[in-house]
Structure 1
Amino acid sequence: MNFALRPPSAGSSGPGAGRGATMENLEKQLICPVCLEMFSKPVVILPCQHNLCRKCANDIFQSTNPVWQSRGSSSMASSGTRFRCPSCRHEVVLDRHGVFGLQRNLLVENIIDIYRQQESSRLVNIKPEQQKQQLLCEEHEEEKINIYCLSCETPTCSMCKVFGKHKDCEVAPLSSVYMRQKTDLSDGIAILVASNDHVQAVISQMEEICRTVEENGQRQREQLAIRFDSLLAILDERKQELVGLISKQQDDKLKRVQSLIRQHSDHLEVAVTLVESAIQSMEEPHMPVFIQSAKVILEKIALTARASNMERPELGYESMSHFFIDTDDLADMLRNINFCSGVGDNGEEDPAEGGEESELDFCSRF
């Protein structure tokens, strides 16, 4: 890479430079995580203490709750409406007023007003030669970096193209490559954010499966216990064996779903980190530096997007309905009771299949 940042010769040190860095750091804290622009009035504060432009909050809310048509909609008021904070994924529950019921953050709005006033005053006092740093070629001093070598994939200057090591290479204007890369990165961010929402929905669905598996397992254990209690001590030993089979299958299912949740959560964490890196890269003011970092991030985004379609539990995986017994008129065969043999509702062989044939089976009634 044959370029270096040349700071302006005057006005780049002293209290003014420190003040500029402070204002730049302040500006980063006033950026909306959705539109990536400075917060616009009014600013709303979420229950998780993160801030959003009200318009951005309303856009997220409308995309999450498309049937919610107006602030006075009564169809959604009883069940509540919700969306997730784009900064921390915390679930925000809204009342019947929707986004308009969120509290405005007047402190942030006042800080933005003060910041803009200070910036306007600072820009007026800055000399023209101090307003911009220039990237210059290291091999040809005072030559600006203004073209991009497509063959070597690096920014360079016109002299390198005419007389230097890039004279036989294919080149393009630096600004056109910059705009194309910035557009690609912006599209990649949008794709990754949509993918993250999909992964979050999958995780929520699998968490619901875990709850359903636990509820079904508990219900089946209770039904099994009621049947065995009526048969007194002769059923006690066999009861414990069958309860163990239910618990084992429940544990196996829970372990599998929880393992999938961990995989999806790890993927989501990587994707969120990648979004943060991409957003930081979007703030890079120098086109050559931006192009170099954007290329790597775009490759990671492509890999992450392809990996988002991960394994999920089969339809009906949470069902435990094959654990059911019918004990009428079967007291003489109690010691041979077993679950129904054959294939269960999730396509797996029943744990009791094999060995001697049972004279009395648990029959599925679901």
Structure 2
Amino acid sequence: MNEQMQEELTCPICLEMLKKPIVALPCQHNLCRACAADIFKEGQSNRCPTCRVSFQIPNVTVSHLPRNRTLENLIDIHLKSKANLTPVLTSESANETYELPKLFEMAASYQRESEYEKAKKILKRLDEQVVGVTKCQVKTDIAKCLVRLEETEHVPQVLQQMVNVAVKHKEEFVEEDWNKILKDCRDMAVKLGEREDIIAAINVMHLLVQLCKENSDPRRCIEQLVVCAATMQELVAFIKNSKKKDDFNSFGFSLLQEISGAVENVTNIESHFKCRQLSRCLKCTGFCYNRLFHYQESIKVHQRAIHLMEFEYKKDVVLYRLYGLCHNNLGVAYSKLKMLGNAKTAFQTAIDAYQQVLDWDNETDKIERINLCIKALADIT
């Protein structure tokens, strides 16, 4: 490496080679995010340690500074070269060599064109060349190809490898990394659910829950776990035959309980936020119980969510749509068990809550929810 390149890849704070994640300042100079966190103050005027240009970081964490992935990939290639590993790979179909960026471009193109077998082969080569966050994404892309090719027996192994790498390199992850892997895995699970491959879908979600637990930001950890619970609710809606219901009964409910337990165990978080998110997880679990005809379990779970919200929010509890939804689902369970008095009370409470809720997406949604409860009450009487 020449002297100029060495200078470009050196952090101006620690004076060592830049370590991932690498952040780019507004002036386009780069430094290790860990070093940036040590010297910069949020909401105050700061200076670039290289050019001394002033800039201000808004009231967010340093991790929200943009990440220079191109520079990270160049460092990966340099480190591989130092270890006597070539950063180029040979195409099977021709005597050509491609550098890593070209291989990433080819793999992405093949996935867009539905040539997943070609994409899988290229991604497996890339897997041998990359490290850290990039390796996690490559493994996730391999799993996506396997799902598309319906080679689902290998998906859990590949995703477990991805989780292992993520745990080892989690300090390198920024929010966009977590979000992309979360979305990709969720999409895989939904695709499997559409095929009614329920066990494979739940396996994907189980590994995703493991990954979510590794997020060191407690708020983001909880939000991601709630997305997992909502995805499980989406999966149960795909189930049509009784054998698949047995699969969900055997594995799905234990995972939903694990998700709720993980949310409950998160510390150093504001109580209102935690209560609302835990109640959302319980509501998703209760919905799944209703869908698979476990009405007694649904009643217990929804009652717990309702009690949590009433204790936390007191008289303001009726302002939250979630409170009405839980009573609505509770009314469904009671009516199925022919507990008609309890069902009437639950549906009426849902209507009263819906009328006071402030967080509706639109007025149409509100009217539809109220009308469904009114119809349910009419059917009971």
TM-score normalised according to structure 1 size: 0.21
Greater helix fraction, Structure 1 or Structure 2? 2
Greater strand fraction, Structure 1 or Structure 2? 1
TM-score normalised according to structure 2 size: 0.20
